[in-house]
Amino acid sequence: MNVRGERECRDCGGRWSYYETGTVECPACGSVRSVGVEGRATHTDSPVSLDLAAHRTRFGEARGTLPTDDVDALKHELRTYLRKRGFIDGGELRTLDDTVLAARELLEAVDVYDRRRDPSDADREYLLALLAGAEEGKRPEATEVPESMRVARGAAAARAVSEYRDDLLTFLDELASTPGRDGEPIGGADQHDDIDSSPTVSVSGDEAESRVAPARQLLGRVRDRTKRVDALGGDVAPTAADALVEAVNAVGEYVRTGDGEALDRARSRLADTEA
């Protein structure tokens, strides 16, 4: 959605960033009477943190199958976090970051683990490694994913990439409708002249609109590969799952910077997923 990031309270005059708080309520006085005071920008992310400390304590003591209540609580925590995350922040395209990937993989891994009647020690170690590192975006290396759990890695990659692709397409739609100005980045003009007609997204470099078609073409291949991984229930090599993530992030880098090497890297990583 397109929102005005900086807001001003009509009651106390305080100002704050909607992008940082995610609310129109004044943090100083609590009033909900506020007005946007800058141009609109495309924004899909929300301020949210991931705290899994309590779950680490409970799961670290568990053996074999997991308590149903604990599983449900962890899934709820992860889904809440993932539902609030987006990849466009105040008109700027972000990466498909490691914390989102780790949270998504942990959610898939818990589901796979919970369905097993007799999970192995390797399954448990993998799950606990995800639980230990997810807050900081740390995941086991592809070579450390047990064969029995690789569907979690694949399914997580497919879902996360699909969500990132949706935001990236939204960003490209906005970029395609943004007039460029010689000598300055898209979105870099003085927005006080006409805040309602100001650009809603921002990238660096010149001729940003020329990036739209190549990016969309590659995102079509990303979509096809994602559907294939979904059809397989995530049962692909962990290296292929990681390559899919790297490919879509390279497309995002190309859109942000216009770097042709990023575009080549995206093509190369997509080829790795299709091999």
Same domain, 257 and 183: yes
Q: State percent of the chain over pLDDT 90.
A: 63
Domain stop point among 130, 149, 168:
149
Token pair 């049962």 in the structure block, residue: 235
- pLDDT tens across 1-27, in order? 777 778 888 888 888 788 888 778 888
Alpha carbon 103 to chain centroid distance? 10
Residue 89 counted as domain residue? no
Question: Is the residue at 260 inside a domain?
Answer: yes
Angle, helices 260-274/238-257, rounded to nearest 10 degrees: 160
> Which domain, by its residues, includes 34?
2-38
Domain identity same for 64 and 145: yes
User: Could you give the number of structural domains in the chain?
Assistant: 3
**pLDDT (tens digit per residue) in 102-144:** 999 999 999 999 888 888 889 999 999 999 999 999 999 999 9
Q: Are 162 and 138 part of one and the same domain?
A: no
Per-residue pLDDT tens over the stretch 137-191: 999 999 999 999 999 999 999 999 999 999 999 999 999 987 653 333 333 333 3
Query: With bands split at pLDDT 50, 70 and 90, how would you rate the model's confidence at 63?
Result: low
On whether both 113 and 183 belong to a single domain, the answer is no
- 230 is a domain residue: yes
Residue 46 lies in a domain: no
Judge whether 90 lies within some domain. Answer: no
CB within 8 Å of 115: residues ≥ 6 apart: none
Token readout for 265 is 């890297």
Residue 257 covered by a domain:
yes
| Tokens 């129109």 -> residue | 24
Residue 89, C-beta contacts closer than 8 angstroms, at least 6 positions apart: 19, 43, 44, 45
> In this structure, are residues 96 and 164 in contact, taking their beta carbons and an 8 Å threshold?
yes
Q: Look at residue 93 and tell me if it is in a domain.
A: no
The verdict on 121 and 227 lying in the same domain is: no
Q: Are residues 129 and 164 part of one domain? A: no
- Rounded CA separation 32/23 (Å): 9
Are 193 and 128 in the same domain?
no
Residue 47 lies in a domain: no
Identify the pLDDT of residue 8.
Answer: 84
Torsion of CA 246, 248, 251, 252, to 10 degrees: -100
